[in-house]
Amino acid sequence: MVEALSDKGKLVSERIIIITHYGVFSSLIAWVLYSILLIVLAISIYFWADLRIARDKYLLETEIVNRTRELSDQKSKYEELLTNYLPKEDFEKLQESTKEKTQRFKMVTVLFSNILGFTEIAEQENAERLIDDLDRFFFEFDEVVQRFHLKR
């Protein structure tokens, strides 16, 4: 219902009926287009996700290559340092013995020890006496390891 004032000041009311046709949006052609749009959207999402996964995989593989290169460089530096300080025969024996001694354990305990005031003791003691004291310390340590059937 629409009401309006005429130019003479009289209130006029009239009923207006508006009929709309939505036939275009519910026709067979529209539903085919909706279906195609939905399929294209689903395929786009699939390829987008696949592209993201491929990118993440590439980044991880690049990180692995970089870390492997860093480890290889570190190993080369380590071997170079050892060859500078050890005779060639000892270095080769060390490499062989570490390969043979490699073991795996389900659980381990690592003990770190410290000799309190070692710097001051080392400054005050003569070298031979200090080496004898350290030798006794390690001997006692080895006895404890053997008594409790530990591995060192």
Question: Within a 13 Å sphere around the CA of 81, how many CA atoms are in the beta-carbon half?
Answer: 6
**Residue 3 φ/ψ, nearest 5 degrees:** -120, 140
Kindly give the pairing relationship between strand 11-14 and strand 2-5: antiparallel
- CA gap 136, 142 in Å, rounded: 10
Identify how many contiguous H helices and E strands the chain contains and give both numbers.
Answer: 4, 2
- pLDDT tens, per residue, the chain with 152 residues: 778 777 887 888 888 877 766 666 677 888 899 999 999 999 999 999 999 999 999 999 999 999 999 999 998 888 888 777 777 777 777 777 666 566 677 887 777 778 888 888 888 888 888 888 889 988 888 888 888 877 65
pTM of the model: 0.39
- 8 A C-beta contact, residue 5 and residue 12: yes
The first and second tokens of residue 21, run together, are 């046709």
